[in-house]
Amino acid sequence: MSRIKDLQKNLFGGTTSNARQFGMIFTLVAIVLIFQIWTNGLTLRSDNLIALFQQNSYILILAIGMLMVIVAGHIDLSVGSVAAFTGILVAKSMTEWDLPWPAAIVFGLAIGAVIGAWQGFWVAYVGVPAFIVTLAGMLLFRGGNQFIGNAQSIPVPEGFREIGSGFLPEFGPNTGYNNATLLLGLAAAVAVVWREIQARKTRRAMDADPVPMWISILRMAVMVGVIAFAALRFASGRVGTSFPISGIILVALVIAYSFYTRNTAGGRHIYAVGGNSRAAELSGVKLKRVNFFVMMNMSVLAALAGMIFVARSQASGPQDGNGWELDAIAAVFIGGAAVAGGIGTISGSIVGGLVMAVLNNGLQLQGVGTDKVQIIKGLVLLLAVAIDVYNKSQGRFSIIGSLMRPFRRDDSVPPASPPDAEREPAKAAVSG
Amino acid sequence: MRKFFGTSVVAVSAAAMLALAGCGSGRDGDSSSSGDAAKGFAANSLIGVALPAKTSENWVLAGDLFSNGLKEAGFQADVQYAGASTTVADQQAQITAMTTKGAKVIVIGATDAAQLATQVAAAHAAGAKVIAYDRLITNTPDLDYYVAFDNFKVGQLQGQALLDGMKAKKPNGPYNIELFSGSPDDNNAGVFFNGAMDVLKPEIDKGNVVVASGQKDVKQTAIQGWKAEGAQARMDQLLTSTYGSKELDGVLSPNDTLARAILTSVKGAGKPVPVVTGQDSEVESVKSIVKGEQYMTINKDTRNLVKETINMVKALQAGDKPQVNDTESYNNGSKVVDTYLLPPVAVTKANAAEAYANDPKLAPLTK
């Protein structure tokens, strides 16, 4: 095995199904570097990075739930309306019914759960396609938002705003950085190293092919380097700013849901259902329960996203949530999920969301109007998925490989042939 | 294997170096505290202008005027419109981007006046001055100035024009009038009505002007959603209930759309056309005024509003305090905002040609 293949296989813990994600990470890095140069260093300046996370945390939270919905073979068009509906109710609960803000957050999540149960019921137990159920939900809850809010904006109190626009406190000695952010970065670096050591131990215990030492170290070095860079950047913003609280919520959710989808039976069932629901059911997966869960989970996350947006905007308004579903769906597909279901990862969707976010931010820093930004984002979405489809029709994901392909093209391979589709979930199950 | 070990050590140190080189300076942004702005800023600084989506001609015109006007004044202009569907989020991101780029003044025509406080606070903390254009941004102590047309004055002009118009038609009173006001959920609707009543109330008290239906309360006169059909229905009703034999001399209408609906109703009932006020200089109403049906409208010239805003930016650049003429009326919920109010202009058939001389769309209608 050549060293490049070795690297590709092991550096990001991936086999072929992860190579797309590997490609997206490089795309993301490339976009960041291009804009960093083009905007004369504004892109990676700490205040811009902080703003980038605050601006997009709610979309990325939606992308987590959307990934699970799409992997299960469904779609959810109602997330923006659910977010807006929750937002207005939560704002009202605090300003008119005098609910304290922590109770209001619980109230908001409960609304999300109830809406999710409603949509999950129709999808899982009645069998109405999710596209229709959530299209109805999109109208239903958008109307609900306007009915309750009278198309007006309702402000939210100080404490509640923290989840959308808050920062970590300043404490400890004056290091010239935000100490809380530095500690978070340190914890993340330690976690990465610990995980790598654990993984090596497990492989040795299982008598598996050990990952070459140099790759382990290189992987740790890259990750620790990125974490150190990010931590220092986020910690060096204006006094009073740090890694944003909405970003911390996002990171916690990404870790929790990545673990759930990769390492637990419940999470693997979602992939099984999306890959081949009939086969999954025959092998004992409770189909209805999985479908109910992904739809309900999506609405809870939409409620959370709605609250974070309201907290950041300091008011709930009639425009909240417009078009969010499309941003979330785009993030998931750019991040390598398959339209047919069964394939995709949380981290991939986050990378996909970040590609869109950085693109948006960089173009805005350049003063490009929203009209052109939308055109560019549309083309990026189309290209990203087109490359995926093309690569799949070649039966391989490698970009380098596809460059060599013309010399040994085999036209008889149909795009996404059935055995391929059935093999994928199993592969994903190994690699995550 | 050992060879690669060496490579990775190099890689580790490279990554560390990269990280440190990027951030060796520690906290940035400390230097740009808001105190500096009082001394002015460079003449070629960046000025950000964030406007709502391009849904009305007025905003498109304002954007063009801002780009050209700011460039003529020597500034770099960054004029942005919110997108059509995700307006609030777009505007928030645009204001943040302008702050990051180091804009010295950010002019905001808010798409939702209550949802921009976080971005305004960040801009203020970075040393930028924030001017609310046309729409007051609420619930933030960090808004510096507000530029708009004087809406109370709009009401006063409407009230005065109503009196003048009736006097021109019929030298002596008492005059029978009816009152209409805008949508109850629009803050401005009440301001217009109070302005008009400021002029009409003394005449009503003297008995010179009579609201024949007796419906004088703003709750009775309001037209939900500024809807034309609402105004038409209410006018139909009033004509049936009150004006069987009496003559209707004048109607206070808060804007042009309602004014035309009122005129439609009166004409439908076969009554003589009363003196009807309006606002906004809508094309159809300007035609109606020239034809002698609607009596008056209000001209709020976007050109003047933009010009005044740019004057404010120039004053800030020079380190002066911009001219304001109202320091007590506009409380946004957190503070009273220093405001420059422009006088609106009342337009009747008599001065229409002069008032719209600079307006390429309306000027031909007055010839």
Share in percent of chain A as helix, strand, coil (round to 5): 75, 0, 25
Q: Are B27 and A370 inside 8 Å of each other by CB?
A: no
Chain A within 8 Å of B46 (Cβ-Cβ)? no
Q: Please state whether beta strands B46-51 and B105-108 pair in parallel, antiparallel, or not at all (unpaired).
A: parallel
Give yes or no for a contact between B219 and B212, defined as CB atoms under 8 angstroms apart: no
Mean pLDDT, rounded, for B98-112: 90
Determine phi and psi for A161, rounding to 5 degrees: -60, -20
Kindly tell me if the per-residue pLDDT of A88 is higher than 90: yes
Of the spans A55-59, A300-304, B342-346, which averages the highest pLDDT?
Answer: A300-304
Residue of chain A nearest B138, judged by CA positions: A155
pLDDT band of residue B13 (cuts 50, 70, 90) is very low
- Candidates A370, A375, A376, partner chain B, best to mutate (most B CBs within 10 A): A370
Å from B320 to nearest chain A CA? 27
Distance CA(B114)–CA(A152), nearest Å, equals 9
Which of A47, A176, A369 is closest, CB to CB, to B26? A176
Which of B7, B80, B82 is closest, CB to CB, to A214? B7
Q: So what's the pLDDT on residue A48?
A: 87
Q: Is CATH 3.40.50.2300 the classification given to domain B151-300+362-366? A: yes
Kindly tell me if the per-residue pLDDT of B188 is higher than 50: yes
Mean pLDDT, rounded, for A237-252: 88
Å from B51 to nearest chain A CA? 11
Q: So what's the pLDDT on residue B33?
A: 41
Residue of chain A nearest B53, judged by CA positions: A370
CB neighbourhood size of B13 (10 A): 12
Which 285-324 residues of chain A touch chain B by CB within 8 A?
309, 312-315, 317-320, 322-324
Q: What is the DSSP string of B250-273?
A: EEE-SSHHHHHHHHHHHHHTTPPP
What domains does chain A contain, in order, with CATH numbers? 15-166+245-431 (1.10.3470), 167-243 (no CATH)
Phi-psi sector, A367: left (phi>0), alpha (psi -120 to 50), beta: left
Distance CA(B11)–CA(B2), nearest Å, equals 14
Mean pLDDT across chain A: 83
Q: So what's the pLDDT on residue A3?
A: 61
Distance CA(B114)–CA(A157), nearest Å, equals 13
Mean pLDDT, rounded, for A350-371: 88
Per-residue pLDDT tens over the stretch B14-30 = 444 444 444 445 665 44
Kindly tell me if the per-residue pLDDT of B8 is higher than 60: no
Kindly tell me if the per-residue pLDDT of A122 is higher than 90: yes
Closest to B145 (Cα-Cα) out of B337, B301, B6, B8: B337
> Would you list the domain boundaries of chain B?
39-143+301-342, 151-300+362-366
Closest to A45 (Cα-Cα) out of B279, B274, B32: B32
**3-state secondary structure at position B136:** coil
Distance CA(A427)–CA(A345), nearest Å, equals 12
Give yes or no for a contact between B262 and B180, defined as CB atoms under 8 angstroms apart: yes
Å from A318 to nearest chain B CA? 9
pLDDT band of residue B242 (cuts 50, 70, 90) is confident
Which 211-250 residues of chain A touch chain B by CB within 8 A?
212-214, 217-218, 221-222, 224-226, 228-229, 232-233, 236-239
Kindly tell me if the per-residue pLDDT of A249 is higher than 90: yes
Q: So what's the pLDDT on residue B283?
A: 86
Closest to A343 (Cα-Cα) out of A254, A272, A258: A272
Number of Cβ pairs closer than 8 Å across A and B? 167
pLDDT band of residue A406 (cuts 50, 70, 90) is very low
Distance CA(A117)–CA(A109), nearest Å, equals 12
| Paired tokens of B123 | 């801009």
Contacts of A42 in chain B (CB under 8 A): 100-101
Contacts of A309 in chain B (CB under 8 A): 89
Q: Are A213 and B5 inside 8 Å of each other by CB?
A: yes
Which 52-91 residues of chain B touch chain A by CB within 8 A?
78, 80-83, 85-90
Determine phi and psi for A410, rounding to 5 degrees: -120, 105
Give the neighbor-by-neighbor strand order of the sheet with B275-276.
B209-211, B175-179, B250-252, B275-276
Kindly tell me if the per-residue pLDDT of A46 is higher than 60: yes
Q: So what's the pLDDT on residue A349?
A: 92
Chain A within 8 Å of B5 (Cβ-Cβ)? yes
Q: So what's the pLDDT on residue A4?
A: 61
Q: Are A236 and B87 inside 8 Å of each other by CB?
A: no
Distance CA(B247)–CA(B224), nearest Å, equals 27
Mean pLDDT, rounded, for A9-23: 55
Contacts of B78 in chain A (CB under 8 A): 367
Chain B within 8 Å of A147 (Cβ-Cβ)? no
**Long-range contacts, stretch B170-176, CB < 8 angstroms, 24+ apart:** B170/B249, B173/B208, B173/B209, B174/B207, B174/B208, B174/B209, B174/B210, B175/B208, B175/B209, B175/B210, B175/B249, B175/B250, B176/B210, B176/B211, B176/B212, B176/B243, B176/B246, B176/B247, B176/B248, B176/B249, B176/B250
Q: So what's the pLDDT on residue A423?
A: 41
Kindly tell me if the per-residue pLDDT of A403 is higher than 60: no
Contacts of B82 in chain A (CB under 8 A): 370
Higher local confidence (pLDDT), A271 or B6? A271
Q: So what's the pLDDT on residue B226?
A: 79
pLDDT band of residue A10 (cuts 50, 70, 90) is low
Of A82-91, A364-373, B91-100, the least confident = A364-373
Which 155-194 residues of chain B touch chain A by CB within 8 A?
185
Q: So what's the pLDDT on residue B70?
A: 93
Chain B within 8 Å of A117 (Cβ-Cβ)? no
Of A123-137, A197-211, B106-120, the least confident = A197-211
Å from A416 to nearest chain B CA? 35
Kindly tell me if the per-residue pLDDT of B152 is higher than 50: yes
pLDDT band of residue A272 (cuts 50, 70, 90) is very high
Q: Are A46 and B5 inside 8 Å of each other by CB?
A: no
pLDDT band of residue A21 (cuts 50, 70, 90) is low
Distance CA(A83)–CA(A307), nearest Å, equals 7
Contacts of B18 in chain A (CB under 8 A): 225, 229
pLDDT band of residue B87 (cuts 50, 70, 90) is confident
Contacts of A374 in chain B (CB under 8 A): 83
Higher local confidence (pLDDT), A268 or A392? A268
Å from A118 to nearest chain B CA? 27
Residues paired with B145 in a beta bridge: B131, B338
Of A109-123, B84-98, B119-133, the least confident = B84-98
Q: So what's the pLDDT on residue A151?
A: 67
Mean pLDDT, rounded, for A53-81: 94
| Paired tokens of A61 | 């939270």
pLDDT band of residue B311 (cuts 50, 70, 90) is very high
Distance CA(B347)–CA(B17), nearest Å, equals 69
CATH code for B39-143+301-342? 3.40.50.2300
How long is chain A? 432
Kindly tell me if the per-residue pLDDT of A7 is higher than 70: no
pLDDT band of residue A100 (cuts 50, 70, 90) is very high
Mean pLDDT, rounded, for B337-362: 89
Determine phi and psi for B145, rounding to 5 degrees: -140, 160
Share of chain A above pLDDT 70, in %: 85
Share of chain B above pLDDT 90, in %: 43
Distance CA(A201)–CA(B224), nearest Å, equals 71
Q: So what's the pLDDT on residue B363?
A: 86
Kindly tell me if the per-residue pLDDT of B110 is higher than 90: no
Give yes or no for a contact between B110 and B92, defined as CB atoms under 8 angstroms apart: no
Which of B15, B26, B114 is closest, CB to CB, to A153? B114
Per-residue pLDDT tens over the stretch A363-398 = 888 888 888 888 998 998 898 888 777 777 765 544
Q: Are A153 and B112 inside 8 Å of each other by CB?
A: yes
Higher local confidence (pLDDT), A63 or B270? A63
Kindly tell me if the per-residue pLDDT of A299 is higher than 70: yes
Kindly tell me if the per-residue pLDDT of A415 is higher than 50: no
Q: Are A312 and B118 inside 8 Å of each other by CB?
A: yes
Q: Are B114 and A214 inside 8 Å of each other by CB?
A: no
Which of B93, B97, B112 is closest, CB to CB, to A317? B112
Q: So what's the pLDDT on residue B79?
A: 92
Q: So what's the pLDDT on residue A11?
A: 53
- Candidates B101, B142, B183, partner chain A, best to mutate (most A CBs within 10 A): B101
Q: Are B115 and A314 inside 8 Å of each other by CB?
A: yes
Give yes or no for a contact between A137 and A78, defined as CB atoms under 8 angstroms apart: yes
Residue of chain B nearest A53, judged by CA positions: B93
Determine phi and psi for A21, rounding to 5 degrees: -65, -40
Closest to A321 (Cα-Cα) out of A188, A160, A144: A144
Q: So what's the pLDDT on residue A320?
A: 86
- Strand spans (E) along A211-330: 315-316
Distance CA(B83)–CA(A408), nearest Å, equals 46
Chain B within 8 Å of A176 (Cβ-Cβ)? yes
Q: What is the DSSP string of B142-174?
A: T--EEEEE-HHHHHHHHHHHHHHHHHHH-SS-P
Kindly tell me if the per-residue pLDDT of A334 is higher than 60: yes
Distance CA(A300)–CA(B239), nearest Å, equals 54
Of A122-126, A274-278, A425-429, the least confident = A425-429
Mean pLDDT, rounded, for A180-190: 90
Which of A318, A322, A365 is closest, CB to CB, to B85? A322
pLDDT band of residue A18 (cuts 50, 70, 90) is low
Q: So what's the pLDDT on residue B20?
A: 46
Q: Are B29 and A237 inside 8 Å of each other by CB?
A: yes
